[in-house]
Structure 1
């Protein structure tokens, strides 16, 4: 995994333009994330936040030489290799659900990794981890419910629990608190803080000031494709200043 002290993720001078577009969605973006770091990325719709997230997860083709994962050029790494180290929580949780019940959804990636069929027992360590995660998400009373029938906030908490079942080195969360109330957001951030304490790095893409203020070790802001770092005292100014 490269030399000691090296960032997990390193982006240098990343510029990206969608095919057929005249305007670059990202312009010279640079950032680095080390184990345990918690970066929160703020910015308005259309500023480039989601484009960056999709590039980091391999959902858009990475330009060569701009993005490195554990010292390797991400443009040359297969998506399945990135997916073992990077967990991605989509803006619409439904896009990731694949099982009939909340319990099976939480264990879905474990079954896939171990090649277990439905009905085959899951190793006890994973069962215990799933129980802990679903209790933390306050979903222990919904184990037999369909993931698709949960409330908006519950869907988000389930999608996060399902990502945490197989520990990853980096989690990228796209608007994880959208549609949740204050309590739901607090539960979600507490779950993220526990994973961070285990050494996971986070990049949280959000509009939510609660997330920036209570979770971030670094606050980044995106504006018209440019990324810059803001100090905490500047957050409100950066986000609320009248740009007209």
Structure 2
């Protein structure tokens, strides 16, 4: 089920342009980007920069005005959305935009049923997703009777039940407290370790620094920065355009001359411990 053609990126974006017909605004202005299997990417940028517009091309929700998007070698312009959904799962920022069934169980099993997975696989995947997202015992509840945080976890569970190669989450920590946010991000790390490509759209640069292996910064419909967190955070002038500031711990450790600035407080403590032991 995993995409094993190492010679090809799992998602290839070539000179992607997208314009909204109603107002004539060009939201994406020629973005080229390759995403490989096993990447853990955080996409950063201001509101309206084009982050969500970009990733909605990965599963066919939007079609290019110009350029192309290939997913596992499939052209998204000619591949049915239902087929792309088996490979790319998308969790919206607002869970209510993708929840529509009469019960939690129906919601979680809808995707796998639509993909015509075997009945035993559907049940096993749904139960696993319920457990992971701590929704066991709520199978018969109406989704809109759940709290905002629970609905967010339900939306994530609907994607986990499909087990796609690429999992995209748009501001996934909304409505979650610190403990649940950490648990969710650890889960994404585990899924990434199993071979899933993880793409997180977030405004939380501290969270991006701690968990992402690669950061993509979108600015005014274009690709401003793309690289590992250390390289991106050293581009202070470019980041200033986006009104993004580097994590405090990174700025501090860089200022005091640490060769590899820390991306999180936990990393700083670990690096300091190793230094004392050396």
TM-score where L is the length of structure 1: 0.85
* Alignment partner, residue 74 of structure 2: 72
- Alignment check: 8 A CA contact 1:2 1:71 kept: no
Determine the structure 1 residue equivalent to 2:245.
240
Which structure's CA Rg is the greater one?
A: 2
**Hey, what's the Cα distance between the residues in 1 that align with 2:46 and 2:145?**
30
1:87 partnered with 2:93: no
Q: Distance in 2 between matches of 1:145 and 1:87?
A: 24
- Equivalent residue in structure 1 for 2:132, among 118, 133, 136: 136
* Correspondence for 2:249: none
2:37 and 2:55 mapped to 1: Cα distance? Answer: 18
Cα 1:99–1:210 change in 2 (3 A) is: farther
In the TM superposition, what is the alpha-carbon distance from 1:135 to its structure 2 partner?
2.0
CA–CA distance in structure 1, aligned partners of residues 192 and 129 of structure 2 = 14
Listed one character per residue, the Cα deviations across residues 76-110 of structure 1 (whole Å, up to 9, x for unaligned) are 22222212211111111122223322233222222
CA offset at residue 194 of structure 1? 2.6
Contact 1:39 1:204 in 2 (8 A): yes
Q: Name the structure 2 match of 1:56.
A: 58
Q: Which has the higher contact order (CA 8 A, sep 6+)?
A: 1
- In the alignment, structure 1 segments of 5+ residues that lack a partner are 117-121
- Cα RMSD, aligned residues only: 2.5
Structure 1 match to 2:157: 161
2:226 aligned with 1:229 = yes
Partner of 2:263: none
The question of 1:45 aligning with 2:42 is answered no
Give the Cα–Cα distance (whole angstroms) in 1 for the partners of residues 156 and 55 of structure 2: 16
Cα 1:149–1:235 change in 2 (3 A) is farther
Unaligned runs of 5+ in 2: 247-278
Partner SS, residue 29 of structure 1 = strand
Residues 1:18 and 2:20 aligned together: yes
- Give the 3 Å change call, closer, same or farther, for CA 115–212 of structure 1 in structure 2: closer
1:192 CA displacement = 2.0
Residue of structure 2 equivalent to 1:179: 175
Whole-Å separation in 2 of the counterparts to 1:80 and 1:15: 23
* 3-state DSSP of counterpart to 2:43: strand
CA distance in 1, matches of 2:4, 2:14: 17
Match of 2:272 in 1: none
Note if 1:110 corresponds to 2:138.
Answer: no
- Is the CA contact 1:173–1:204 (under 8 Å) kept in the aligned structure 2? yes
Change (3 A) 1:115 1:191: closer
1:152 equivalent in structure 2: 148
